[in-house]
Amino acid sequence: AAGVIQSPRHLIKEKRETATLKCYPIPRHDTVYWYQQGPGQDPQFLISFYEKMQSDKGSIPDRFSAQQFSDYHSELNMSSLELGDSALYFCASSWGIRPNTEAFFGQGTRLTVV
């Protein structure tokens, strides 16, 4: 079965650079979630989109922005990168945002800021 696809899997950027992470949800899923997981930390919710509109906002820095496109894929744009942005970034998708629906996660993008 098709899963959530994230690209790239690994990314190395220098401080103050910009990075773009991409997420391709499971076919027919209309909701996308972004999570950040720092070293030794638990995943932290950043932002989510339902039917191409922002549905919830978590602890996403102002330097980050995201959107969901007409084909339901999503991109997380990160500017003015800081060393502390080094983390695993996970995307998840689900069908709808009802409580009774499971979300499936991709394998993540490991961002290293040097």
Which residues in this chain contact another protein in the complex, by CB under 8 A?
A: 4, 33, 35, 42-45, 48, 56, 58, 88, 90, 92, 97-100, 102-108
Helix, strand or coil for residue 85? helix
CB of 16 to another protein, least distance (A): 27
Cβ closer to another protein: 22 or 79?
Answer: 22
Query: Are 19 and 78 spatial neighbours (Cβ–Cβ below 8 Å)?
Result: yes
**Cβ closest to another protein, residue 34 vs residue 78:** 34
Smallest gap from residue 61 Cβ to another protein (A): 17
Question: 50 or 79, CB closer to another protein?
Answer: 50
Q: Which is nearer to another protein, 61 or 97 (CB)?
A: 97
Stretch (H or E) spanning 67: strand 64-68
CA-to-CA dists, residue 78 to 59, 64, 65, 71, angstroms = 14, 4, 7, 21
Closest approach of another protein to the CB of residue 80, in Å: 25
Instruction: Please state the closest distance from residue 84 (CB atom) to another protein, in A.
Output: 18
Task: Please state the separation of Cα 9 from the chain's center in Å.
Answer: 12
Whether 71 contacts 97, CB under 8 Å? no
